[in-house]
Structure 1
Amino acid sequence: MDAATSPLAKTREKSRQKRWESPIAGYLFISPWLIGFFTLTIYPMIQSLYYSFTDFSLLEEPNWVGIRNYQRILTTDDKFVQSVKVTFTYVLTSVPLRLVAALLIAMLLVKSVRGMSVYRTAIYFPSLIGSSIAVSILWRNIFGKDGYINHLLSYVGIDGPGWVTDPDTALGTLVLLVVWQFGSAMVIFLAGLKQIPHDLYEASSVDGAGKLRQFFNITLPMLTPTIYFNLIMGIISSFQMFTPAMIITHGGPVNSTYAYALYLYERGFGQLQMGYASGLAWIMLLLIAASTSIIFFTSKYWVFYETEGGKKR
């Protein structure tokens, strides 16, 4: 009898397969991630929640104060109100504009043209560097009173304002920065556009539909899951906007760019009020959760999938 087909060999093979089918093996493989998740995410979150009910600073031991931090934030803190207004204005303007820019560029780049990969890489490149300090400094130099934009405007006789020092335009420059970095959303839109069956466009062309009608009746409905994903991710990232407000405008002028994350940072690391900053952080979490929940619960009315009836079930 062949050793490989002997009853003992078969028993050992079954035992080995059963051992690897155990969930313990799966947990063993993902244990590095689990350790990092619980030690670097869950534990700090629990600790932050505890600190939000204390007067903890970096120099003294925390003392329990109950909900006093939250009462001060919600009733007497004018800077909190201002930072919330600025952040919501930033989110409501930057997220839609970024999605529109990403979708329009994606529709141009989805065409099969020689050298298109080079164009896609060049357009995506700004998103690789992200909202870094170097980009923020460059943006400040471009839109400063003596920056490159005003230098170009001077050639046509226009005396441009100090874009980042004028309360009416400062937040707009930060919105323009995040709109310029639409590469990640564009790549996702590209993937979504390529998944739309070309037969739909051919059939609609036979019926006499033009490009504009095809866009609203085919492209947009088929892209709603992609739009939904990009919208959620855009809202979450925009609520956490920090580096541009810190480097370009320092929250000014006249607190017109005083973003929520910047205020949280100044309370925690500038004034060493870690307990108060922890309360601000948890309120931010609730604001993000509420905003994304609204999108989630309303998605059934405008997000369409390839299922029965066309809508998500």
Structure 2
Amino acid sequence: MSSETDTYKTAVNHYLSPKRQDPVKVQWENAFSSNLTQQVVTKLVQDLGLKEISVVDFGCGIGEGLTLLHQILGDLAITKDHIFYTGVDISPQMIATAEEKWADEPNAKFCLQDIREAVPNHPTQLYYSCGVPYSHLTPEEMLGVLINVFKVIKANQTESLILIDVLGRYSIEWITKWQESRWAYCMSFLAESAESQTPMMMTCYYAPELQEMFEQAAALSGCEIASLEFHDRSLMVGRHSTTNEYNPHIPPYRYVVNDLYEPGRKTDLTKLLLNCPLPAAPGPVEAFLRNFPRNGMGWLPLRPNGGGNWMDLNGLISIAIGPTNTA
């Protein structure tokens, strides 16, 4: 079995493990992702008047995106019967697990596909992603995928929304890697020991870099970007805050915040304070982190939907795309 296969097998086990559903995951990360997903779907239903939504989920894993989509429908005028979902992933293990999990869902299908080679070409209103699939790609590969998606949107004359999930370049979790945009990322938090994990090359992005990429893809494909938003998720409390692998000085924020949800457990709140040396970074990033300890005495991490807009950890980008009238 190859190291890549081992990594995907470990990742599948991680997705299925109850240990993954810690308070930060459930109360913060899932809540934030659900809120943003609901905003996107609401725009499609209420602003564009759609009665049905076709969704393509890149890097779908075991189909967690479909769970989020079903959960946020609420009072909207559509039900899960109006959501037609296609999950795309490069991992056979992920696809097999997803197909088994969603076997009774008639509107869901899963495809083993490398999006660097092709993307589904049917009319799609929502291109979805969670779990940072785009960070697995080089910037050149990501640009190519975006161009292909934009071309499909233009060919089908759809008004589409794209939700892109990437790793933020200037995360406090990996300050030793700030000078690199692509580096060997070890998901040591998935395994019992770091030795059992093989690093994977991952690309981390800064918002202005992404905006330039989106504008380039739109220009090359003849599409128009109607709006562009950037959001931070897991600000300061990502899983590498517990490993010290890429920042030996960061407090174990995720563990400390998880402790706050444990009834009867005494938590040392001084561990929430940020006090570690920071390397050079772009001005807006430095300003945000410099002011961070003064924002509520370091309590900013306790606001699940708070944070700046410079993609400190997992950057979620929503793009509204409309076809242009140019040939």
Q: Mark yes or no: TM-score above 0.5.
A: no
* Larger strand fraction of residues: 2
* Larger helix fraction of residues: 1
Tell me the TM-score normalized by structure 2: 0.22
Tell me the TM-score normalized by structure 1: 0.23
Relative CO higher for 1 or 2, CA cutoff 8 Å, sep ≥ 6? Answer: 1
Larger-Rg structure: 1
